């Protein structure tokens, strides 16, 4: 083993606690040192991802973000500070990561991640981390990684919940879950709905952990983690490649990155989608359920939760079984989705909309809000 293939005494001291972990050791630490990771977005998710990957000893981190630091960023984008207001986020983030690990190499891409540079950037790195906040870039990153044969770790967050996706080459991609870019207006942004900074920290840290696991060879299949910080719950969904996927399927329609393909698009049911709110209050849900043509109410909690309390007439389809049980959910009638506090049900609502369910809405606050505001005889837990 050459000197270049060994850790220095400084590195052994710096990463001592990490090297002791099963599956890491000196060989694993060397793999991290040789790794090249591209982070898309130096914001609420990219901040903790970058900090923890730098601290873990990843050798080269690329940062792609065209924005500048604004004061509204600071409550959640912890890689930035008041002293970097107005600076490009790439420069601000690079300075912070260098303080964490002076030996880190950082490549700046202030032009962002675009159709024009996506293929070239993906080819330069071993893994891509998507922490962006818009559908067009998410789908561009997903498609570019499939076409380039590179793993993708994706994260998103809204209010007090989020998801972390790990998409490995030929093992299921982002479009296997969400085949079509949805209308940007169909899902509220953090600017509209709000978000806790600490929630970004939870999701971003989990993303960093998944990146490290992929780099160390600990992941062999694609997976999706759905995390509800308010409820203190997380669910792991195993993913498999969809033969009908437009990007990684057996007869893909996406064979190159075309600029027109990454503008927000409306599905054929856009009129119905615009008439159906993404979310309704429990009071509105009660009114709809008592009407002459009531919607189907789907409860996506677990069976043990359903045994504690339920809304009369609801159908139990636990969240992790929804993809396999789509045939039980009709597309031609209104559907309400409900869970404990509204986090899991929002994820299912978004998933169903991506699958063409135009008349589906989330019940805000879940059965807990139902008990508080509609029917106090429903037990709380």
Block mean pLDDT (10 aa), the chain, length 381: 76 95 95 98 96 97 95 92 92 95 94 95 98 92 97 92 94 90 61 77 97 97 92 89 92 91 52 65 95 95 96 95 92 94 90 87 96 96 94
Q: Which two tokens stand for residue 77?
A: 């984008």
245: annotated active-site residue: no
Distance of alpha carbon 91 from alpha carbon 256, whole angstroms? 31
Q: At what angle do helices 89-100 and 46-56 cross, to 10 degrees?
A: 30
339: annotated active-site residue: yes
Distance of alpha carbon 222 from alpha carbon 167, whole angstroms? 5
Based on its alpha-carbon atoms, the radius of gyration of the chain, rounded to whole angstroms, reads 22
Q: Name the β-bridge partners of 154.
A: 130, 165
Q: Which residues of 203-226 are buried (b: 16+ CB within 10 A; e: fewer)?
A: bbbbbbebbbebbbeebeebbbbb
| DSSP per-residue codes, 216-259 | TT---S-EEEEEETTTTEEEEEE----TT-TTTSSS-S--S--G
Distance of alpha carbon 109 from alpha carbon 299, whole angstroms? 44
Which sign does the torsion angle of CA 138, 141, 144, 146 carry? negative
Distance of alpha carbon 36 from alpha carbon 106, whole angstroms? 10
Q: pLDDT per residue over 197-243, tens digit each?
A: 899 999 999 999 999 999 999 999 999 999 999 889 898 988 889 99
- pTM, two decimals, is 0.70
CB 324 within 8 A of CB 287: no
Distance of alpha carbon 280 from alpha carbon 293, whole angstroms? 17
Q: Which two tokens stand for residue 133?
A: 């906040």
Domains of the chain plus CATH, in order, are 35-262 (3.40.50.720), 270-373 (3.40.250.10)
Pick the catalytic residue from 173, 176, 190, 248.
190
């Amino acid at each position: 083993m050459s000197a270049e293939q060994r850790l220095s005494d400084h590195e052994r001291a710096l990463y001592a606690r990490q090297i002791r972990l099963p599956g890491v050791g000196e060989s694993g630490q060397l793999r991290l040192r040789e790794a090249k990771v591209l982070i898309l977005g130096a914001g609420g998710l990219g901040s903790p991802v970058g900090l923890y990957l730098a601290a873990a000893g990843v050798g080269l981190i690329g940062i792609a973000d065209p924005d500048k630091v604004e004061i509204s960023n600071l409550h959640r984008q912890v890689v930035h500070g008041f002293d970097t207001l107005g600076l490009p986020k790439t420069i601000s983030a690079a300075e912070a990561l260098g303080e964490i690990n002076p030996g880190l190499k950082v490549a700046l891409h202030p032009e962002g991640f675009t159709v024009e540079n996506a293929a070239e950037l993906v080819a330069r790195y071993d893994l891509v981390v998507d922490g962006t906040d818009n559908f067009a870039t998410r789908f561009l990153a997903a498609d570019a990684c499939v076409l380039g044969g590179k793993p993708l770790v994706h994260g998103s967050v809204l209010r007090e919940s989020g998801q972390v996706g790990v998409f490995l080459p030929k093992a299921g991609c982002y479009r296997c879950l969400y085949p079509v870019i949805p209308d940007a207006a169909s899902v509220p942004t953090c600017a509209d709905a709000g978000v806790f900074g600490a929630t970004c920290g939870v999701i971003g840290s989990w993303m960093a952990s998944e990146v490290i696991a992929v780099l160390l060879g600990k992941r062999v299949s694609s997976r999706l983690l759905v995390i509800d910080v308010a409820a203190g719950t997380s669910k792991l969904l195993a993913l498999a490649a969809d033969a009908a996927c437009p990007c990684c399927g057996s007869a893909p329609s996406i064979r190159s990155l075309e600029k027109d393909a990454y503008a927000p698009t409306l599905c054929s049911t856009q009129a119905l989608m615009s008439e159906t709110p993404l979310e309704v209050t429990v009071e509105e849900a009660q009114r709809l359920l008592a009407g002459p043509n009531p919607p189907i109410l789907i409860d996506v909690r677990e069976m043990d939760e359903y045994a504690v309390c339920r809304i009369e007439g609801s159908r139990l389809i636990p969240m992790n079984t929804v993809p396999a049980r789509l045939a039980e959910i009709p597309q031609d009638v209104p559907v309400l989705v409900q869970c404990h506090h509204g986090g899991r049900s929002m994820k299912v609502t978004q998933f169903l909309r991506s699958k063409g369910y135009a008349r589906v809405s989330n019940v805000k606050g879940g059965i807990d809000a139902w008990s508080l505001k509609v029917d106090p005889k429903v037990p709380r837990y």
